[in-house]
């Protein structure tokens, strides 16, 4: 019985350590936490009288604790990397010109533009006879403009001269 528990603990620890190769820090920490928690839980469970239950509870608690620690480590690393990149960018801006600006050579850019395409039509409409004030206007045809159209979107190649940014 004792050898089965020991082999189970060794197996859990081995799997959790061996599977941490291509994982994030959070996942690696969760795996290591699972193995350590299972080992400690099995030891405490053996003292109490149920090593399997202790190993299961320890594995769950270890996985949760390891994931929290790994997530915290990932966030701190990302903050450090972001601060380093911002620092490098600021140093580069200062060193490229005496004014703290980057020199951009002349180049072409594609600029998105829009223009209104008028598709309005003249429509011939019959107007009924009517009376305007004291005048009688006979029925007749009138040409009216029916407004319509759409936006035409296109890209235009534009030369951007050299400048400081």
- What is the Rg, in whole angstroms, of the alpha carbon atoms belonging to the chain? 38
Across 56-81, average pLDDT: 85
- What pLDDT digit, counting tens, does each position of 87-108 carry? 888 877 776 555 556 778 889 9
Half-sphere exposure of residue 34: CA atoms within 13 angstroms, side-chain side: 20
- What pLDDT digit, counting tens, does each position of 126-165 carry? 999 999 889 999 999 999 998 899 999 999 999 989 887 7
Q: How confident is residue 17, by pLDDT bands cut at 50, 70 and 90?
A: low
Residue of 15, 70, 68 lying closest to 38 (CA atoms): 15
Beta bridge partners of 111: 156
Inform me whether the pLDDT recorded for 46 exceeds 70: yes
Q: How far apart are CA 45 and CA 33, in angstroms?
A: 17
**CB 25, CB 70: distance < 8 Å:** yes
Range in 7-16, 47-56, 66-75, 131-140 with the lowest mean pLDDT = 7-16
H runs (alpha helix) in the chain: 2-18, 25-48, 51-96
- What pLDDT digit, counting tens, does each position of 116-129 carry? 999 999 999 999 99
Inform me whether the pLDDT recorded for 48 exceeds 70: yes
Inform me whether the pLDDT recorded for 32 exceeds 90: no
């Amino acid at each position: 019985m004792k050898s089965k528990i020991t082999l189970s603990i060794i197996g859990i620890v081995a799997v959790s350590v061996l599977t941490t190769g291509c994982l994030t820090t959070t996942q690696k920490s969760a795996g290591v936490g699972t193995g350590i928690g299972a080992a400690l839980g099995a030891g405490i469970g053996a003292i109490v009288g149920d090593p399997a239950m202790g190993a299961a509870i320890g594995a769950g608690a270890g996985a949760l604790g390891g994931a929290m620690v790994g997530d915290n480590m990932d966030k701190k690393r990302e903050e450090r990397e972001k601060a380093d990149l911002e620092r490098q960018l600021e140093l580069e801006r200062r060193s490229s010109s005496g004014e703290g600006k980057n020199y951009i050579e002349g180049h072409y850019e594609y600029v998105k533009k829009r223009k209104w395409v008028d598709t309005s039509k003249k429509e011939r409409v019959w107007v009924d006879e009517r009376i305007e004030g004291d005048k009688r206007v006979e029925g007749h045809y009138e040409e009216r403009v029916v407004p319509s159209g759409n936006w035409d979107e296109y890209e235009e190649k534009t030369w951007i001269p050299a400048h400081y940014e």
